[in-house]
A and B are shown apart, each in its own frame.
Chain A
Amino acid sequence: MTGPSLYVHIPFCETKCPYCDFNSFAVLGRDVDGYLDALRREMDARGVPGDPPTIFIGGGTPTVVTPEQLARYLGDITARLRPDPAREFTVEANPGSLTREKVAVLKEHGVNRVSLGAQSLVDRHLATLGRVHRAAEVEEAYRMVREAGIPRVNLDFIYGVPGMTLAEWAATLETAISWRPDHLSCYALIFEPGTEFHARRSAGRLNPIAEDRELAMFRYTERRLRRAGILRYEISNFARRGEECRHNLVYWRNGEYAGFGAGAFSYLQGRRTGNERHLGRYAEAVRGRGDAIATEERLEGEAAARETIVLGLRTSEGVDVEAVERRYGVDLGGLRGTIGRMRGLGLVAPDGPLRLARRGWRVADEVAAAFL
């Protein structure tokens, strides 16, 4: 892999889900075309990497827009790239928002991977999560993508939803497995600050499920998917061998990426920048100065090395500490004690690269914090 990956953010959704803390807005009444203008302007001004190893269009719901708008921004992106059919090109989609026509547009523009926000296959849980689609629509969308000949499909699920039982979660997994997907993302529900769920929990109007039940789901997921040949390669991500999301691996390997759009992040030459999240301010900034950078962080030397370890620990491949030392030109000998302690507790693998052992996954944050 050479050069930075490419990320483009489409910040629109049909409705805002109550657990979601991503930069997204209900699409109704929004000036989508105006946003796409600004996006194009930002790509022009900053320059898009011409041969990114991976592309990821995220949101929001990138497919919530009209087929014309979809074709327009996909065209804007692909026009700036050297064509390469082997390049991983992912677009996020929601089951309810997908039509045959839109799938055809994706296919036409070389999209070879669709990540479907299924979230659950139980209508009751979909309702709790504030999702607008029904379980039946998930399968429909999945088939539609498959039939269109888009070769790779991921399904996103959320477990640990208030009121969810282990049996319900297991049933959801069974159904998903029966569709023979090549990739599954299974996230424990997070009550992110600033979300409606967070406020409802604080007010005592939403009860999180018991920690033990969530832990049982966490463990069950890995065991069941492994039997189906879908292996964990990151805390919440599972794939058949070779079907891992290469774009997300760039993040966890602390690789470079250029992000475009409102609230998008870039990590280029050791500098991590974040764009304006607000649509109006984003467009205005792009019009004024070409970029819309609102936050910036630069980590160097040991801090960058430690961050790389923390990110790498999320993956099953782990992180080669010596390679990290070479990459940042630092001596991480000071971590030896921590590594020894974590090995002693059986939380990281006894040898080889630094990676979580079977018992380490459920307390991954504790392990990671020790390396910061």
Chain B
Amino acid sequence: MRLEHIRNFCIIAHVDHGKSTLADRLLLRTGAVEQRVFRDQLLDSMDIERERGITIKASAVRMMWQGKQINLIDTPGHVDFSYEVSRALHACEGALLLVDASQGVEAQTVANAYLAIEAGLDVIPAINKVELPGAQPELVIDQLSTGLGLDTTGILRVSGKTGLGVDDVLKAVIDRVRPPEGDPAAPTRALIYDAAYDDYRGVVVYVRVFDGTLRRGMKVQFLSNLSEWEIAEVGVFRPEMEKVDVLSAGEVGYFVANLKTLEHVKVGDTIAPAKERDVVPVPGFKDPKPLVFCGIYPASSQDFDDLRKAIEKLHLNDASFTFHPESSEALGFGFRCGFLGLLHMEIVQQRLERHANVDIIQTAPNVTYEVVTTDGETRRIERPAELPDPAHIKEFREPIVRVSIIAPPEAIGPVMALVTDRRGTFVKQDYLGPSRTILVCDLPLSEMVFDFHDLMKSATRGYGTMDYEMKGFFPADLVRLRILVAADEVDALSVICHREVAPRRGREILRALQKTIPRQLFEIALQAAIGGKIIARESITALRKNVTAKCYGGDVTRKRKLLEKQKEGKKRMRQVGGVEIPQEAFLSVLGSRREEKKRK
């Protein structure tokens, strides 16, 4: 298809502003899917997404409308997934910025809008859910124009739910998004913006073609590693995969080669014809910077290989998490994984359990720290066990994020109190119209990562939204809080925290352990220590009684099976210094673990 007939666009929005519903409407309207095969949130192909009603993976669909080929790339809205958003943006020329008519501009509306503007996209603002009784489109228009400086003339008013304004959206995409540039006759250049693993086809590579064409039988290379592959199939998403003869400049689709292993495919890489040496790579995007880390271990050690394969496979599909092998005294061999945020961590963990069929133990998450040693070396610390001896630490630094919180003006007081309580500092405050204030502050990432979002939500009665970006590492009075179970340090339970909060954090962790470690045949001492100094202690009293009163001829089999079940339960626990620690204990260190529901 000629370039002027192609439009590539994405929809960006704050989470829950109705992006997936509108996407579904567009698919229906353009006939990309028929009513009879229609399911809610068709683009969200993962079960987890559907269950949570949020979009995690960007996926692309080709639609035909009035002689134009329109490629829609769906993007996730959650703050943890801004990396995926930026991937989608690189494959498009335009973005539909969707704002909920009653919620108004929220933190990720701002963040995503800036990402799109920076990426040079044509931004089309649209107000969604205009059918709702609480809709205040005029207020939204004011926020968009004064707060974000967007041109709101001809702003779209739509309803994904009723289908109102869907034709206007399609028309605006055609009229206001520029067609892709590129030369179909030039040597091929295509950007890998995503990939997935299919059990039958192997690696499926998602591409945006910038120049030239991709077709079956063609030999191509990956510029980052110069490996060469013959293309076995090219196709598009409609939204199911559908074979086509050719993908040409400006188009979005997928190809399959004989890629059985995952090592060669790197999201952000450029594809060029084999042997071609003069191809200029398409500017890729920045490597993701994981902000939260945790250890992931197989529940039973013989599953290590299965876990490794599962992680590799998942990584292909979600390049934004990092992993490398590590070992823990308590948990054996596993992986240290880095995530963009807590929700991201949970989703990866669930996907692993679901698709790999491996029970996993996940350690409490922590953030990366930096240590400057007395020899002047700067080291990244991803887990407490990597800390050098305190005597060799010249400076201990923690990551600080700059957080933007958008909330009604009357909620700023409580939010500020929360920020102060979490060792945060005020940076500035701006007005975004009469009912919206942006509060910018700096916060230690470790204080933000666990439950700050929840607490901010309740401080703003649900109206507040937030976004954050990494600011850098800054010195802080940090300590390694050691957790001892029956006098043995359990490395997987120990944490790094600020000295001032250590006693409180220590008590919280011990109480959480008290609740999750079952009573055993002896009393178990739980201690929290900084160096050799115990700062908190608790204990789990010994199991008092566990005896079956009756067991006669007819009972033998049944009673034995009960005992077997009891024993089976123990196998899933980890033995540390004679104490059986269940998997939940490793997570309970989180204390007030945020519930995923609240975050949606």
Question: Could you tell me which A residues sit within 8 Å of B by CB distance?
Answer: 7, 23, 187-190, 211-212, 214-215, 218, 235-236, 248, 251-252, 254, 257, 259, 263-265, 267, 272, 274, 295, 297, 307, 310-311, 314, 341, 345, 347, 361-366, 368-370, 372
Q: CB distance B521 to A211 under 8 Å?
A: no
Measured in the bound complex, the distance between the Cα atoms of B105 and A369 in whole Å is: 60
Question: B549: CB under 8 A from chain A?
Answer: yes
User: What residues of A have a CB within 8 angstroms of the CB of B458 in the complex?
Assistant: none
Measured in the bound complex, the distance between the Cα atoms of B558 and A310 in whole Å is: 13
Q: CB distance B564 to A361 under 8 Å?
A: no
Measured CB to CB, the closest approach of chain B to A253, in angstroms, equals 12
Interface string of B566-582 (1 = CB under 8 A from A): 11001000000010000
Q: CB distance A188 to B554 under 8 Å?
A: no
A248 and B566 contact, Cβ closer than 8 Å, known pairs A364-B547, A365-B547, A366-B543:
no
Q: CB distance B553 to A366 under 8 Å?
A: no
- Chain A residue, CB-CB nearest to B564: A372
Question: B153: CB under 8 A from chain A?
Answer: no
Q: CB distance B522 to A345 under 8 Å?
A: yes
Question: B545: CB under 8 A from chain A?
Answer: yes
Q: CB distance A267 to B549 under 8 Å?
A: no
Measured in the bound complex, the distance between the Cα atoms of B552 and A252 in whole Å is: 8
Question: Lowest 7 A-B CB distances belong to which pairs?
Answer: A187-B549, A265-B554, A364-B547, A369-B567, A188-B549, A369-B563, A365-B546
Q: CB distance B567 to A363 under 8 Å?
A: no
- Chain A residue, CB-CB nearest to B569: A369
Q: CB distance A218 to B545 under 8 Å?
A: yes
User: What residues of B have a CB within 8 angstroms of the CB of A365 in the complex?
Assistant: 546-548, 563, 566
User: What residues of A have a CB within 8 angstroms of the CB of B560 in the complex?
Assistant: 307, 310, 372
Q: CB distance A345 to B521 under 8 Å?
A: yes
A215 and B545 contact, Cβ closer than 8 Å, known pairs A310-B560, A372-B567:
yes
Measured in the bound complex, the distance between the Cα atoms of B547 and A189 in whole Å is: 11
A366 and B521 contact, Cβ closer than 8 Å, known pairs A188-B549, A215-B544, A311-B551:
yes
User: Pick the contact of B556 from A235, A307, A347, A363 — CB < 8 Å?
Assistant: A307
A190 and B521 contact, Cβ closer than 8 Å, known pairs A251-B553, A366-B543:
no
Which residues between 452 and 508 of chain B lie within 8 Å of chain A, taking CB atoms? none
User: What residues of A have a CB within 8 angstroms of the CB of B522 in the complex?
Assistant: 345
Q: CB distance B545 to A263 under 8 Å?
A: no
Q: CB distance A248 to B546 under 8 Å?
A: no
Q: CB distance A361 to B553 under 8 Å?
A: no
Measured in the bound complex, the distance between the Cα atoms of B560 and A254 in whole Å is: 12
Q: A212-B544, A364-B548 are in contact. List 16 more A-B contacts (CB 8 A).
A: A188-B547, A235-B548, A235-B549, A251-B551, A254-B556, A259-B554, A265-B556, A307-B556, A307-B560, A363-B543, A365-B548, A365-B563, A366-B566, A369-B567, A372-B560, A372-B564
User: What residues of A have a CB within 8 angstroms of the CB of B350 in the complex?
Assistant: none
Measured CB to CB, the closest approach of chain A to B549, in angstroms, equals 4
Question: B550: CB under 8 A from chain A?
Answer: yes
Question: B374: CB under 8 A from chain A?
Answer: no
Q: CB distance A369 to B566 under 8 Å?
A: yes
User: What residues of A have a CB within 8 angstroms of the CB of B521 in the complex?
Assistant: 345, 347, 363, 366
Question: B435: CB under 8 A from chain A?
Answer: no
Measured in the bound complex, the distance between the Cα atoms of B552 and A265 in whole Å is: 10
Question: B327: CB under 8 A from chain A?
Answer: no
User: Pick the contact of B546 from A23, A236, A310, A364 — CB < 8 Å?
Assistant: A364
Q: CB distance A251 to B545 under 8 Å?
A: no
Q: CB distance B556 to A251 under 8 Å?
A: yes
Measured CB to CB, the closest approach of chain A to B569, in angstroms, equals 9
User: What residues of A have a CB within 8 angstroms of the CB of B550 in the complex?
Assistant: 187, 190, 236
Which among A187, A251, A254, A264 has the highest number of chain B CB atoms within 10 Å?
A: A251
Measured in the bound complex, the distance between the Cα atoms of B552 and A23 in whole Å is: 13
Q: CB distance B545 to A214 under 8 Å?
A: yes
Q: CB distance B563 to A362 under 8 Å?
A: no
Q: CB distance B548 to A310 under 8 Å?
A: no
Measured in the bound complex, the distance between the Cα atoms of B559 and A364 in whole Å is: 13
Question: B557: CB under 8 A from chain A?
Answer: yes
User: What residues of B have a CB within 8 angstroms of the CB of A345 in the complex?
Assistant: 521-522
Q: CB distance B563 to A372 under 8 Å?
A: yes
Q: CB distance A297 to B557 under 8 Å?
A: yes
- Chain B residue, CB-CB nearest to A189: B549
Measured in the bound complex, the distance between the Cα atoms of B208 and A155 in whole Å is: 85
21 A-B contacts, Cβ less than 8 Å apart?
Answer: A188-B547, A189-B549, A190-B549, A211-B544, A218-B545, A218-B547, A235-B547, A251-B552, A263-B554, A272-B557, A307-B556, A311-B551, A361-B547, A362-B545, A365-B548, A365-B563, A366-B543, A368-B563, A369-B570, A372-B563, A372-B567
- Chain B residue, CB-CB nearest to A307: B560
Question: Could you tell me which B residues sit within 8 Å of A by CB distance?
Answer: 521-522, 543-554, 556-557, 560, 563-564, 566-567, 570, 578
User: What residues of B have a CB within 8 angstroms of the CB of A272 in the complex?
Assistant: 556-557
- Chain B residue, CB-CB nearest to A187: B549
Measured CB to CB, the closest approach of chain B to A277, in angstroms, equals 10
Q: CB distance B554 to A248 under 8 Å?
A: no
User: What residues of B have a CB within 8 angstroms of the CB of A274 in the complex?
Assistant: 554, 557
User: What residues of B have a CB within 8 angstroms of the CB of A370 in the complex?
Assistant: 567
Measured in the bound complex, the distance between the Cα atoms of B553 and A251 in whole Å is: 6
Measured CB to CB, the closest approach of chain A to B547, in angstroms, equals 4
Measured CB to CB, the closest approach of chain B to A215, in angstroms, equals 5
User: What residues of A have a CB within 8 angstroms of the CB of B552 in the complex?
Assistant: 248, 251
User: What residues of B have a CB within 8 angstroms of the CB of A214 in the complex?
Assistant: 545
Measured in the bound complex, the distance between the Cα atoms of B570 and A186 in whole Å is: 30
User: What residues of A have a CB within 8 angstroms of the CB of B543 in the complex?
Assistant: 363, 366
- Chain A residue, CB-CB nearest to B546: A365
Measured in the bound complex, the distance between the Cα atoms of B514 and A57 in whole Å is: 48
Q: CB distance B547 to A362 under 8 Å?
A: yes
- Chain B residue, CB-CB nearest to A295: B557
Measured CB to CB, the closest approach of chain B to A320, in angstroms, equals 19
A362 and B551 contact, Cβ closer than 8 Å, known pairs A310-B563, A345-B521:
no
- Chain A residue, CB-CB nearest to B551: A314
- Chain B residue, CB-CB nearest to A56: B553
User: What residues of B have a CB within 8 angstroms of the CB of A252 in the complex?
Assistant: 551
Measured in the bound complex, the distance between the Cα atoms of B570 and A275 in whole Å is: 33
Measured CB to CB, the closest approach of chain A to B60, in angstroms, equals 52
Measured CB to CB, the closest approach of chain A to B561, in angstroms, equals 10
User: What residues of B have a CB within 8 angstroms of the CB of A311 in the complex?
Assistant: 551, 556
Measured in the bound complex, the distance between the Cα atoms of B25 and A278 in whole Å is: 60
User: What residues of B have a CB within 8 angstroms of the CB of A235 in the complex?
Assistant: 547-549, 551
User: What residues of A have a CB within 8 angstroms of the CB of B556 in the complex?
Assistant: 251, 254, 265, 267, 272, 307, 311
User: Pick the contact of B553 from A7, A188, A215 — CB < 8 Å?
Assistant: A7
User: What residues of B have a CB within 8 angstroms of the CB of A347 in the complex?
Assistant: 521
Q: CB distance A257 to B548 under 8 Å?
A: no
Measured in the bound complex, the distance between the Cα atoms of B566 and A345 in whole Å is: 19
Measured in the bound complex, the distance between the Cα atoms of B553 and A219 in whole Å is: 26
User: What residues of B have a CB within 8 angstroms of the CB of A361 in the complex?
Assistant: 547
Measured in the bound complex, the distance between the Cα atoms of B545 and A212 in whole Å is: 8
- Chain B residue, CB-CB nearest to A303: B560
Measured in the bound complex, the distance between the Cα atoms of B272 and A236 in whole Å is: 80
User: What residues of A have a CB within 8 angstroms of the CB of B549 in the complex?
Assistant: 187-190, 235-236
- Chain B residue, CB-CB nearest to A248: B552
Measured in the bound complex, the distance between the Cα atoms of B33 and A186 in whole Å is: 71
Measured CB to CB, the closest approach of chain B to A48, in angstroms, equals 16
Which among B553, B557, B564 has the highest number of chain A CB atoms within 10 Å?
A: B553
Measured CB to CB, the closest approach of chain A to B524, in angstroms, equals 13
Q: CB distance B548 to A362 under 8 Å?
A: no
